[in-house]
Amino acid sequence: MLPRRTLNLGILAHVDAGKTTLTERLLYAAGVIDQIGSVDAGTTQTDSLALERQRGITIKSAVVSFAIGGVTVNLIDTPGHPDFIAEVERVLSVLDGAVLVISAVEGVQPQTRVLMRALQRLRIPVLLFVNKIDRPGADTERVLRAIAGRLSPAVVPMGFTRGLGTRAAAFTPWGEYDTAARARLAEVLAERDERLLAAYVDDELSVPYGRLRRELAAQARRALLHPVFFGSAVTGAGVPPLMTALAELLPAAAGDPDGPVSGRVFKIERGAGGEKVAYVRMFSGTVRARDRLRFDREGRTPEGRGHEGPGQHSKVTAIGVFERGTATPRTSVSAGEIGKLWGLDEVRIGDQIGEPGPAAARHQFAPPTLESVVVARRPGDRAALRVALAQLAEQDPLIGVRQVAGEMSVSLYGEVQKEVIQATLAGDFGIDVTFRETTAIYIERPAGHGEAAELLGAPGNPFPAALGLRVDPALAGSGVAFRLDVGIRTVPMYVYKTTGNFAEMMAHYVGHALQEGLSGWPVTDCAVTMYESGYISPVTTAAHFRKLTPLVLLAALKQAGTVVCEPMIRVSLEIPAETVGAVLAAAARLGGVTGAASPRGDLARLEILLPSARAQDLQRQLPGLTSGEGVAETSFGGYRPVSGPPPARRRTTVA
């Protein structure tokens, strides 16, 4: 018997494209469930939270599994709403492949592009599934053009559709004897394979069909080419060919079950008894019940990493492994599999288990642009609220909690996330909360060059360590880059073991210090170079460098100066032509900048760039302004320097 293969598969899409419905269909087709649940009735396998069922949207990613022949597919259904994008980011780190779902009616939507770009950057193999071909208005030709134009030119349709826009809509895959499609496939494949090109130019028909299919699989598995399927998650059309393709065209998980233990935590939930359950994708090795596991997270300081304090080693008390639907109790979980681990009480989402594995996908999406102070309605709940928010933050990458002057402030992507936090605090913790006004999270960019240094033994230097830092502006959107430019003799090796460690830790200290710039906002889009270092053996410790960093960095920033920039949201509108004037006037009142309006019959399309904190106001006013006819899509629109005196942010009181 051949060994079983595992495919860890993400289902990604713009909100409402049909991910959860498709998941349900796949489970049914694979024989895992014998009745198909519906999102609208709140009966699906993956939208299992009460809030998800009430609202009919996915909020948290969920894992289910099924078998296709000798392949076990662990499917991760993700939320499409942009407020929950951080859930998607965690999942990206554990995927072998993905299905990107696109509605045959709505076509390529803003979030579709955001997701496809991230998948391409990470070189994750992607199959495209054009869903909802049964719905009136389905137009596969238009969607294919949009895919080729806006997502990737490296796509190839895998069959043809009939009866579009009706319940009878069907998809038929191309076969060996569809000569036109076969020629097109050969042509697309030959663009990325010279040997195939040579054979093909020689004699088109001499290339055997089997070779074309193998080449297709090889290119799809290397994310060079994206096969496109069509179907309907509601009627089931096109689902069997998609299933076959998952096994044929996506790569199985690699990894040695006998190798060193390495895995990543991508989801945390609380079990029935309130105990913590960690979802781990294993990259290598085998974890057994009662093993003591080491877990680590990016950015732990060397002081924290060096001594083995609580939280770094924990004993696994129980294991569940995904197979045929949900996780079933097992005594071990191995390379390639997804397991639920009990007993890791200090573990957090994103943590790495055992040896470092593939790098985590980070900063793939725009950061949250809003924040708001959460207030307990009953003053007696204040302490409980602090504990509850800390607990939410550890299982939920979306919630950045800051304590400011005794109050709790959370970072937010939008209103829906805010409502979900409120409902979760009430439902799971019994705490009623309100939110203060939602405000923007600005950023600071260096205005020019700045540098500062503290030398060993210099009068103002409070620590026995030397440090010089240079700050320079970098391209918008590039984030923070740190570079070490000092002689190896100036690095205290008795503390850091290698210059690599030293550089990593300095980068971490710098990143931390940049969280609050001259006006209190995170500083980004800059290059920081460490050009001066010094120590006194054996007096100097890591803590001296850590404490010196914010002092020197702030001095360098003062010299450089910073520009405070406001987050912007791009709102794409489709509204009745006669309402354009009213909508533009409303947008102008909210401080919006308008692009050109393009009329399409009775409808006009326009794009408006709005300060992030105001985008919600426009969406709220839209139904009134357009008699309920207007449709708005939002996406991140970058940062814009503020004019006038820069706003200041209250500083964090507790780290």
Contacting residues toward ligand GTP, per CB under 6 A: 13, 15-21, 39-40, 57-58, 79-81, 131-132, 134-135, 232-234
Shortest Cβ distance from residue 356 to ligand GTP (Å)? 32
CA 104, 110, 115, 120 torsion: positive or negative? Answer: positive
Backbone angles phi, psi at 518, to 5 degrees: -60, -35
Q: Which does 112 bind (CB under 5 to 8 A by kind): Mg ion, ligand GTP, none?
A: none
Shortest Cβ distance from residue 172 to ligand GTP (Å)? 17
Nearer to ligand GTP, 16 or 525 (CB): 16
Q: How many CB atoms lie within 10 A of CB 494?
A: 11
Cβ-Cβ contacts under 8 Å for 63 (sequence gap 6 or more): 74, 75, 76, 77, 267, 279, 322, 327, 338
Give me the helix-helix angle, 612-625 and 580-589, nearest 10°.
Answer: 150
Shortest Cβ distance from residue 20 to Mg ion (Å)? 3
Nearer to ligand GTP, 230 or 482 (CB): 230
Q: How many CB atoms lie within 10 A of CB 170?
A: 19
**For the residues of 629-642, what is the DSSP string, one character each?**
--EEEEEEEEEEEP
Q: Which does 376 bind (CB under 5 to 8 A by kind): ligand GTP, Mg ion, none?
A: none
Q: Which does 433 bind (CB under 5 to 8 A by kind): Mg ion, ligand GTP, none?
A: none
Mask 300-339, x = binds Mg ion (CB under 5 A)? ----------------------------------------
Q: Are 118 and 100 in contact (CB under 8 A)?
A: no
Look-up of token digits 């814009």: 640
Give the residue closest to ligand GTP by C-beta.
80
Q: Which does 18 bind (CB under 5 to 8 A by kind): Mg ion, ligand GTP, none?
A: ligand GTP
Q: With H, G, I as helix, E, B as strand and everything else as coil, classify residue 494.
A: helix
Residues 12-31 that bind Mg ion (CB under 5 A): 19-20
Q: How many CB atoms lie within 10 A of CB 157?
A: 22
Shortest Cβ distance from residue 249 to ligand GTP (Å)? 21
Nearer to Mg ion, 19 or 60 (CB): 19
Give me the helix-helix angle, 179-190 and 194-202, nearest 10°.
Answer: 140
Count, residues in the chain: 655
List b or e across 552-587, with b for residues whose CB sees 16 or more CB atoms inside 10 angstroms. Answer: bbbbbbeebebbbbbbbbbbbbebeeebbeebbebb
Nearer to ligand GTP, 5 or 60 (CB): 60
Q: Are 264 and 360 in contact (CB under 8 A)?
A: yes
Nearer to ligand GTP, 59 or 338 (CB): 59
Nearer to ligand GTP, 14 or 330 (CB): 14
Mask 35-74, x = binds Mg ion (CB under 5 A)? -----------------------x----------------
Nearer to ligand GTP, 103 or 461 (CB): 103
Nearer to ligand GTP, 134 or 381 (CB): 134
Shortest Cβ distance from residue 169 to ligand GTP (Å)? 9
Tokens matching residue 487: 């002689």
Q: Which does 135 bind (CB under 5 to 8 A by kind): Mg ion, ligand GTP, none?
A: ligand GTP
Nearer to ligand GTP, 151 or 551 (CB): 151
Shortest Cβ distance from residue 45 to ligand GTP (Å)? 12
Residues 380-419 that bind Mg ion (CB under 5 A): none
Shortest Cβ distance from residue 625 to Mg ion (Å)? 30
Nearer to ligand GTP, 79 or 107 (CB): 79
CA 511, 512, 517, 519 torsion: positive or negative? Answer: positive
Q: Which does 592 bind (CB under 5 to 8 A by kind): ligand GTP, Mg ion, none?
A: none
Shortest Cβ distance from residue 36 to Mg ion (Å)? 15
Nearer to ligand GTP, 20 or 424 (CB): 20
CA-closest candidate to residue 261, choices 239, 280, 282, 240: 282
Residue 132 and residue 109: Cα distance in Å, rounded? 14
Q: Are 614 and 541 in contact (CB under 8 A)?
A: no
Q: Are 62 and 46 in contact (CB under 8 A)?
A: yes
Residue 263 and residue 278: Cα distance in Å, rounded? 11
Q: Which does 81 bind (CB under 5 to 8 A by kind): Mg ion, ligand GTP, none?
A: ligand GTP
Torsion, Cα 478 124 117 102, to 10 degrees, reads -160
Q: How many residues bind Mg ion (CB under 5 A)?
A: 3
Shortest Cβ distance from residue 250 to Mg ion (Å)? 21
Shortest Cβ distance from residue 42 to ligand GTP (Å)? 10
Kindly list the residues in this chain that would bind Mg ion in the complex (CB under 5 A): 19-20, 58
